Amino acid sequence: MSEPVAPETVVVIDDDYAMRLSCTKILTKMGLHSQTFEDGARGLEGVATAKPGLVVVDLKMPGISGMEVVSRVHEIDPQIVIVVITGYATIDTAVQAMKCGAYDFLPKPFSPDELRLIVNRGLERRRLALESQQHEIEQTMLKRRFVTFVSHQLRTPLVAVHQYLDVLKSLDQSSEVQAKRQEWTDRCLKRVEELQDLIADWLTLARVEGGTLTKERIKVDLSRIIPDILKTYEQTAAAEGVSLQSHLPESGLCVAGDRNCLSVLFDNLITNGIKYNQPGGTLTVSGSPSDGEIVIAVADTGVGIPEKYRPYLFDEFFRVKDEGAKKTPGTGLGLHICKRIVSEMGGTISVDSLAGAGSTFWVRLPAWHEPESPGGSPTDAGPKTNTDCG
Amino acid sequence: MQDQKRILIVDDDQDFREAVSCFLQAHGLTVFQAHDGQEGIRLAKLERPDLILMDIMMGERTEGFFAIQEIRRDPALKGVPIFVLSSFCTRLPDFEIPSSGGWLAHDMFFTKPVDTVQLLDRIRQRLGKAA
């Protein structure tokens, strides 16, 4: 799209030779490519082949009427901007033409400046219309891809479970299946859990995107909620051989947000830090206020994230494709959800990682500001009414 | 048992491969498993299976299509029946068939989850009595 664009073509349809000549002169001077035709029939043919951005058409011509030309041009391409030329006596007709879809009209006689102005305006309008059309196409593509992808993601575990059950049923008595029964039942349970996780994550994402999870802005002290989350993962971490550490102040990490939403955010980061760690590893959560922000770092001692994957880490459905990471179940939505939550709250999330030495996720959220008292002057901003979160 | 027919299954879902393989093995077929298109092409060339079961959507891409084209390019594998097993679509989408490879008249399409009894039936039909 950034390549040099060929000059826009403008088609002029007018039975008056002098008019065609002067229009061509003006349009060429504007850097446009102009083509002229002396009647409606030829003009429409010309429009079909030249694919102009704008058509100037005289309303009063022998043969096909200008009015008909207007509607037939839009049958060829509804995005073509049409300007009609009309004598003073036919202003009513011009209005009629605009009702048929013409963009504007030029009453005869008109000056070169008037033509230039109206052509420029028309082309600008067309550019905006095409841009928004392009944007719409991209959005639809994205949505269509998302639905295809999610349905495939949902279907894959279902297919696996179905296939296991199908084979278990049809080979009920055979020795091959007897030996596998226990293992397959466990695998089926794992796949069902995978499906449940995906549905839960998808739902969370839909809520974050719909704004229902991020609407509320109450004072939440992260130094209170993060230890609670850590506590719920003590057993999981122990099972994985990962020790949990917290370097958080007792209070004072206050942000404005929704408690559930913030829980989802740190829950995701902490589970990742445990999942992508290694036996004997550590997960450390630390936090401090800094420059009007609350900075939380969630650091693991896992294998780290190769640099080439880092730019995509927060994209929806992105998963690191290395062998180790592939074995860890995940929906590919967790970090995307984190990013959505953080940006809805006006903060940022980023990652530092050293191959082999683990990753640190940094969350920066705007610190909580006590609402100013109604009579307070702007100069005494931030009266330290709250000792916790000054 | 040297006459046992050999099947290659290419699918990125370990559980699906496991279930189908076990079923086919229980019915006297030898099964090789590949977890992606590349591995599928490698095993096809190495093992010269009698029939290939191919998934389409692997690793977030329609890798199966490329694997089929690649397999068909090998003169030794040109005539091997390829059955497509996919949940990606309910029928084969139209796509460009290169002259050097592509679909044969006896290739088949199955929707996942697959009816294993029917699948076995079709495999036997294709490979004759020995299967």
Q: Write the pLDDT tens digit of every residue in A144-183.
A: 667 777 777 888 899 999 999 999 988 877 777 788 889 9
**Optimal mutation site among A149, A159, A195, interface B, most CBs of chain B within 10 A:** A159
Q: Spell out which residues of chain A touch residue B88, defining contact as CB-CB under 8 Å.
A: 152
Q: Is A321 on the interface with B (CB under 8 A)?
A: yes
pLDDT at A206: 83
Distance from CA of B41 to the nearest CA of A (A): 20
Distance from CA of A313 to the nearest CA of B (A): 16
pLDDT at A324: 64
* Radius of gyration of chain A from its Cα atoms, rounded to whole angstroms: 33
- Is a pLDDT exceeding 90 seen at residue B121? yes
Measured N-to-C along each axis, helices B14-26 and B116-127 cross at an angle, to the nearest 10 degrees, of 60
pLDDT at A355: 79
- Is a pLDDT exceeding 50 seen at residue A374? yes
pLDDT at A310: 82
Quick check: A159 and B113 CB within 8 A?
yes
**Optimal mutation site among B18, B25, B56, interface A, most CBs of chain A within 10 A:** B18
More confident residue, A205 or A374: A205
% of chain A at pLDDT higher than 90: 46
Least reliable range by pLDDT among A143-152, A279-288, A376-385: A376-385
pLDDT at A286: 95
Query: How sure is the predictor about A3, in pLDDT bands with cuts at 50, 70 and 90?
Result: very low
Tokens matching residue B26: 């229980």
Query: How sure is the predictor about A294, in pLDDT bands with cuts at 50, 70 and 90?
Result: very high
- Minimal Cβ distance to A160: which of B15, B26, B116: B15
* Radius of gyration of chain B from its Cα atoms, rounded to whole angstroms: 13
CA distance B129 to B121: 11
Query: How sure is the predictor about A89, in pLDDT bands with cuts at 50, 70 and 90?
Result: low
- Is a pLDDT exceeding 80 seen at residue A387? no
**Terminal alpha carbon distance of chain B:** 11
Q: Is A156 on the interface with B (CB under 8 A)?
A: yes
The per-residue pLDDT of chain A, averaged, comes to 85
Quick check: B60 and A170 CB within 8 A?
no
pLDDT at A138: 67
Quick check: A170 and B13 CB within 8 A?
no
Quick check: B87 and A187 CB within 8 A?
no
Mean pLDDT of B29-48: 95
- Is a pLDDT exceeding 80 seen at residue A22? yes
The per-residue pLDDT of chain B, averaged, comes to 83
- Minimal Cβ distance to B16: which of A159, A174, A180: A159
Q: How many CB pairs under 8 A join A and B?
A: 60
pLDDT at A271: 92
Quick check: B16 and A160 CB within 8 A?
yes
The answer for residues whose C-beta is within 8 angstroms of residue B129's C-beta and 6 or more apart is none
Q: Write the pLDDT tens digit of every residue in A316-338.
A: 777 776 666 666 777 778 899 99
Distance from CA of B123 to the nearest CA of A (A): 17
Residue of A nearest to B85 (CA): A159
SS3 of residue B128 by DSSP = coil
Quick check: A160 and B26 CB within 8 A?
no
Mean pLDDT of A242-259: 92
Q: Name the most confidently modeled range: A201-205, A232-236, A315-319.
A: A232-236
pLDDT at B65: 81
Among A249, A296, A252, smallest CA distance to A273 is for A296
Q: Write the pLDDT tens digit of every residue in A99-150.
A: 888 888 888 888 899 999 999 999 988 888 887 787 777 666 666 667 777 7
Task: With beta carbons less than 8 A apart as the criterion, state whether A297 and A360 touch.
Answer: yes
More confident residue, A4 or A55: A55
Please count the residues of chain A: 390
Q: How far is CA A336 from the centre of its chain?
A: 11
Quick check: B87 and A174 CB within 8 A?
no
Collect all residues from B whose CB is shorter than 8 A from any CB in A. 13, 15-16, 18-20, 22-23, 25-26, 57, 59-60, 87-88, 112-117
Torsion of CA A318, A322, A327, A330, to 10 degrees: -10
- Is a pLDDT exceeding 60 seen at residue A385? no
Least reliable range by pLDDT among A33-42, A89-98, A154-163, A371-380: A371-380
pLDDT at B98: 41
Least reliable range by pLDDT among A210-224, A274-288, B86-100: B86-100
Task: With beta carbons less than 8 A apart as the criterion, state whether B40 and B34 touch.
Answer: yes
Please count the residues of chain B: 131
pLDDT at A382: 43
Q: Spell out which residues of chain B touch residue A174, defining contact as CB-CB under 8 Å.
A: 26
Residue of A nearest to B112 (CA): A159
Q: Spell out which residues of chain B touch residue A147, defining contact as CB-CB under 8 Å.
A: none
Residue of A nearest to B16 (CA): A160
Residue of B nearest to A174 (CA): B26
Q: Is A184 on the interface with B (CB under 8 A)?
A: yes
